[in-house]
């Protein structure tokens, strides 16, 4: 057994995050705005948690990446409880600054680029011969945009299948350019993560080797 395995075998940080996520899920189930919307929004977080637990012994991410995944899951859970169009804090921001709409969905799509960027970066650096540089950044951004585009297609299919019941899930609030803005914020999120967190991420990756 190598030193890396010993070092992380007794690390309870991912378990703590999982417990906190479970508590957040239980809170979100208490009188959400709509149970169908709640299911649609929270489902990706649940699937992601199950997948991470399934691969934990084969591929353990850094605590930085687990933290970001946890924060992204919280964004989804809160959005599921209130709906993206009625998240109270962003309603307050809208009313205080005279904005046209609740922009909580923009935060969600920013996270949809920001968080996967670090996930993809970690997988590529640990499982391929790629090093830091232009090709790594290009692949990270490309994968993040592909994920965001795929999610937009899923939203479209759900909207067609369920009709008006999916309106809260889409969270467009009458914005005809919503899909374009979603992709743009995912792109900004991915680039922001690479620019701001690559150095910190490298330090976390080095900890896996000691």
pLDDT for residue 94: 94
Q: Which of 179, 184, 168 is nearest to 38 (CA)?
A: 168
Return all residues near 188 (Cβ < 8 A) that are at least 6 apart: 110, 113
pLDDT for residue 11: 81
- Domain boundaries defined on the chain: 12-202
Confidence of residue 166 (pLDDT cuts 50, 70, 90): low
Kindly report the average pLDDT of the chain as a whole number: 87
Helices 13-28 and 63-82: angle between axes, nearest 10 degrees: 0
> Whole-angstrom Cα distance, residue 2 to residue 209?
10
Confidence of residue 5 (pLDDT cuts 50, 70, 90): very low
pTM over 0.85: yes
pLDDT for residue 161: 74
- Mean pLDDT is lowest, of 15-19, 21-25, 40-44, 176-180, for 176-180
Residue holding tokens 């993206």? 84
pLDDT for residue 208: 78
Is 114's pLDDT higher than 70?
A: yes
């Amino acid at each position: 057994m190598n030193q890396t395995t010993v070092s992380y075998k007794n690390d309870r940080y991912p378990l703590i995050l999982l417990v906190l996520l479970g508590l957040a899920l239980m809170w979100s189930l208490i009188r959400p705005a709509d149970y169908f919307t709640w299911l649609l929004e929270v489902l990706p977080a649940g699937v992601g948690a199950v997948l991470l637990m399934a691969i934990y012994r084969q591929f353990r991410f850094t605590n930085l990446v687990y933290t970001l995944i946890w924060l992204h899951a919280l964004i989804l859970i809160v959005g599921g409880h209130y709906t993206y169009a009625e998240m109270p804090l962003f309603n307050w921001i809208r009313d205080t600054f005279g904005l046209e709409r609740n922009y909580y969905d923009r935060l969600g799509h920013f996270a949809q680029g920001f968080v996967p960027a670090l996930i993809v970066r970690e997988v590529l650096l640990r499982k391929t011969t790629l090093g830091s540089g232009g090709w790594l950044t290009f692949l990270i951004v490309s994968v993040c945009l592909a994920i965001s585009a795929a999610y937009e297609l899923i939203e479209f299919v759900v909207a067609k299948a369920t009709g008006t019941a999916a309106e809260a899930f889409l969270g467009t609030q009458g914005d005809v350019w919503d899909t374009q803005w979603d992709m743009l914020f995912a792109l900004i999120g991915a680039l922001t993560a690479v620019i701001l967190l690559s150095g910190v991420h490298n330090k976390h990756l080095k900890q896996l080797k000691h």
